[in-house]
Amino acid sequence: MTDTTLKHVVIAGGGTAGWMTAAAFSKLLGNNIKVTLIESDDIATVGVGEATIPPIKNFHKLLGINEQEVMKATHATFKLGINFENWGQVNDQYIHSFGVTGKECWAGEFHHFWLHGKQKGHHDEFGDYCFELQAAKQNKFALGHDRPINYAYHLDATLYAKYLRTFSEKLGTERIEGKISQVDKCMKTGNISAITLASGQTIAADFFIDCTGFRGVLIEQALHTGYEDWSHWLPCDSAVAVQTKSVSKPIPYTRSIAHDAGWQWQIPLQHRVGNGLVFCSKYLSDDEAKNLLLENIVGETITEPRVIKFKTGRRRKGWHKNCVAIGLSSGFIEPLESTSIHLIMTAIVRLLRLFPYNGVTPSAVDEYNNKLDSELNAVRDFIILHYKVNERADSKFWQHCQHMEVPPSLAHKIRLFKETGRVFLDDGDIFRVDSWTQVMLGQGLMPMQYHQIANIMNDDELTKFLTSLKSAISNAVSELPEHDDFIKQYCSSSA
């Protein structure tokens, strides 16, 4: 009998995706599997994915990574959400936070009670009932207080990869430096059998993970998996990025500022700010984008503006034969909601749960790809939502987004919310009802009705309910220290 046991895994490519994968495999499978990572010092990583969402804390917990240690090493700050500016209309803004808004009941979420309150003359904003959102607005943050707080990080992606490299190598991951010149395949099965480097060195393995970025050296160039283009739904195809020195205290949220042909990000780390402009090249040239970004940043630039080209979409298969694509090699959904690092993490965990110790089976491949499809489609729809639901009449780009067709799954969610005030999540949704509600309300989509369960309260009970919620949040936020003060005490890194 042929021994099909997997003994050696090769990760092609480093960066955030490669070293997150190596860290997880070496920590969780290291006793049974040899892990090798191939990385070229001459190939730069994209390295601009500097904002995360809360589940990254679960990944660190799984690997036994100390939060304070990794935050110091990556010059990290805390993130409570994203402030969206000019998205619904020019000069509008709202925060999509990581917190729970209000209190829900069996029949309906809190926004039904809030909508009922609006009808009764209450004028408080929806976000007034969210602890994390109010803490973000007041630049407050703390851990260990009576009230739990849901958060993520802003971090230096290059330093994060470096931290995880050290972590992985201590656990036995072997790093081989070099450029991939050839991918060898088995003539009988079509599986990848080995990778040959420009130096002539050949590395054979049983299983391969493609972390080579947009190029997809294994999953696309060698295995020809194909690409599903989503640019008809997400028209931005370019980004320009630049780093600046900090000129003020870091805020505990990302800024997302809509412009005429795209949007600008500002991500505050402890000693610098990551800046970028995501745009559509049909409406803005590279030079115009550079100038627009440089005109809208503060602080001395640390790096030269760098243009990155991309095509939004995904590989038709995330797992094909004995190769799984993780990170940018598996596809790209623009960074509007900071999902890139999260999708790396979920891909790693999914693969670990289905890892084919005794050889690749069609059922494992199908399960991985089915779950990936569900997750990517849900994330895709949530990102498209931000573009589709806008009331801007000042630019051709935003008017195009208003009138473009969207996936039927998203069209249904929008219509359901508008007509009934309801949001139901799909299996792959990584964003909760709170997130969908905050974005739809924030961008001007107001439901025509709400669940009548809200009518169980009379006017006095409703007033008392809303007032007590808002008051409790206000009191809790007032007791928090400044975000910057907490960072200095908890995880300060040297400049």
Query: Mind listing the pLDDT tens digit for each residue in 229-268?
Result: 999 999 999 999 999 999 999 999 999 999 999 999 999 9
Residue 151: what pLDDT?
A: 97
Say how many C-beta atoms besides its own lie within 10 A of residue 445's C-beta.
Answer: 18
Domain containing 169 equals 8-50+156-231+312-360
Residues 161 and 30 in one domain: yes
For 436, residues 6+ apart whose C-beta sits below 8 A from its C-beta are 382, 385, 413, 417, 423, 425
Instruction: For residue 313, list its beta bridge partners.
Output: 229, 332
Residues 170 and 271 in one domain: no
In angstroms, the CA 24 to CA 220 distance is: 24
Residue 61 belongs to a domain: no
In angstroms, the CA 402 to CA 385 distance is: 10
Q: Is 245 a catalytic residue?
A: no
In angstroms, the CA 183 to CA 212 distance is: 13
The pair of three-digit structure tokens given for residue 51, joined into one six-digit string:
């904002």
The secondary element (H helix, E strand) that includes residue 287 is helix 286-295
The pair of three-digit structure tokens given for residue 115, joined into one six-digit string:
């909508």
Asked if residue 333 lies in contact with residue 8, where contact means CB atoms within 8 angstroms, the answer is no
In angstroms, the CA 407 to CA 419 distance is: 18
Residues 223 and 160 in one domain: yes
Residue 118 belongs to a domain: no
Percent of the chain with pLDDT over 70: 97
Residues in the chain: 495
In angstroms, the CA 396 to CA 390 distance is: 13
CATH number of domain containing 186: 3.50.50.60
> What total of structural domains would you count in the chain?
2
Residues 318 and 209 in one domain: yes
Residues 212 and 175 in one domain: yes
Model confidence pTM above 0.85? yes
Cα–Cα distances (Å) from 152 to 56, 99, 263, 493, in that order, read 7, 11, 22, 18
**pLDDT tens readout for residues 390-415:** 999 999 999 999 999 999 999 999 99
Over its length of 495 residues, how does the chain's per-residue pLDDT go in tens digits? Answer: 355 689 999 999 999 999 999 999 999 997 889 999 999 988 766 556 689 999 999 999 999 999 999 999 999 999 999 999 999 999 999 999 999 999 877 667 899 999 999 999 999 999 999 999 999 999 999 998 778 999 999 999 999 999 999 999 999 999 999 999 999 999 999 999 999 999 999 999 999 999 999 999 999 999 999 999 999 999 999 999 999 999 999 999 999 999 999 999 999 999 999 999 999 999 999 999 999 999 999 999 999 999 999 999 999 999 999 999 999 999 999 999 999 999 999 999 999 999 999 999 999 999 999 999 999 999 999 999 999 999 999 999 999 999 999 999 999 999 999 999 999 998 889 999 999 999 999 999 999 998 888 888 889 999 999 999 999 999 999 999 999 999 999 999 975
**pLDDT tens readout for residues 190-225:** 999 999 999 999 999 999 999 999 999 999 999 999
Catalytic one of 72, 79, 137, 140: 79
